[in-house]
Amino acid sequence: MRWSRQNRAGLLAATLVVAGLALSGCAGLASATPPGPARPSAPPAAPTVSTVPPDGTQDVAPAAPIRITSAHGALSGVALTADDGTPIPGTVSPDGLTWTATAPPAYDTTYHFTGTAKGPGGSVPVTGGFTTASPTRLFHVSTNIGDDAVVGVAAPIEIQFDRTIPTADRAAAERTLSVTTTRPVTGSWAWLPDTSEGSRVHYRPRSYWPENTGVTVAARVYGLDLGKAGFGARDLTTTFTIGRSQIVKADATTHRIQVVRDGTTVIDLPASFGLETDPNRVTRSGIHVVMGKSQTVLMSNPAYGYNDVPEHWAVRISNNGEFIHANPATNSVQGKRNVTHGCINLSTKNARSYYDTAIFGDPVEITGTSVPLSASDGDIYDWSIPWAEWKSMSALA
């Protein structure tokens, strides 16, 4: 039979359609094949518990962290108890997976963990225990500002250790120290040279304290292991207030001192400073700090021929023998010439008027002399150290 061109084209199209249907049918059959049986799901994991310190640890420092950590199960009924039944309090994290002690344990005591970790995979008991250190050496700390004191705007905070703290352990010691204030303050700790009593670290702000600021200082050293210095005997805290701003501006070139309170000059007095021609008698320039005061102080300087001379209305401003005090013997030159042995001399009336206003921590800014205040002048020379250098003296810098 002879086909026309049109018939041959139609036959080809029909063949293609049938082939397409056949392919579609194969695909449809394949997708309809039923899946095999589902694999069984894994059972939930059983809880696991770990403790810090690990079970059986000896000589644990009471300041070391104490916690229980659980995986795959929430903690319940957790307790840490001494052999005599004394409990150590703690808190559980919001997810229930960590318990942390909130108070330190006692020295030379064995403690035991108890409780349960429960989860979808079951429950396991919390077990384990440790024994704390029994130190042969303890160190103590003290501070220079007591509770409820009111101090001046330049008052440094001193923490004095009664033992020498090895350099390698100072960072650990400093981490236990804190200063909190009721007004924003930028400050830093700095380790100063050791004294005969032991090591000391001072805190001061970058600039003077804001007036009327509440300050709380804490040294959480109980249980802290500081190597050769021993273990911390007890914590220390103190809360005090920065009072009004009172700054003494003392200018040896004008021979006067001015008392500036809250930005206003309230006292302006003639004075005599140390004799400039004798290096041993020069009043030191720089920011001094009022350290204390007494109505009568016996002053001695054997090299210059006097011993136990009573001087009155004396305000100490350094540990090198510098005071602001009354000295009637120099009344005639006060406001004119500098003739003293390093102190700032005032008349008796003027000395008492200033004495009545002075409190520990007031800054005394002395200018116009040839010798600067330095570490050789006693315990409080903090403000003579530039801020960048002061910060670098922190063990955490």
Enzyme catalytic residues: 325, 343
Q: Tell me the DSSP string of 226-289.
A: -GGG-EE---EEEEEEE---EEEEEETTTTEEEEEETTEEEEEEE-B-B-TTSTTTPPPBEEEE
Nearest-angstrom CA–CA distance, 207 and 204: 8
In 3-133 the beta strands, taken as DSSP E runs, fall at 48-52, 57-60, 67-71, 74-82, 87-88, 90-92, 98-101, 110-119, 122-125, 129-132
Q: What are phi and psi of 101, to 5 degrees?
A: -65, 140
Q: Which two tokens stand for residue 78?
A: 């957790």
Sheet containing 141-143, strands listed edge to edge, beginning at the edge strand earlier in sequence: 141-143, 157-161, 198-205, 187-195
**Do residues 183 and 204 touch, judged by C-beta distance below 8 A?**
no
The closest alpha carbon to 62, from 135, 128, 159, belongs to 135
Q: What angle do CA 31, 34, 40 make, to 5 degrees?
A: 130
